[in-house]
Amino acid sequence: MALFDIKEGEDFYFNEQGYKVFTEKFHLKRGHCCKSGCKHCPYGYDKKTDTFIKTNKKDK
């Protein structure tokens, strides 16, 4: 059973290859970084260096 519902187009979308891609909104809803190098990571994680890069994005 899921902790919260996710909605296509809001929390994720399918890319050209058919993979599910989670949005920044989903990651913020989840509340933590999974360190998987996600395309829309709002936490600034860089998988290549295993570090967090500071961003100047305003809180949403």
Give the model confidence (pLDDT) of 30-59 as tens digits.
999 999 999 999 999 999 999 998 765 554
pTM: 0.76
CA dist., res. 2 & res. 48, Å (int):
30
8-19 residue pLDDT tens: 999 999 999 999
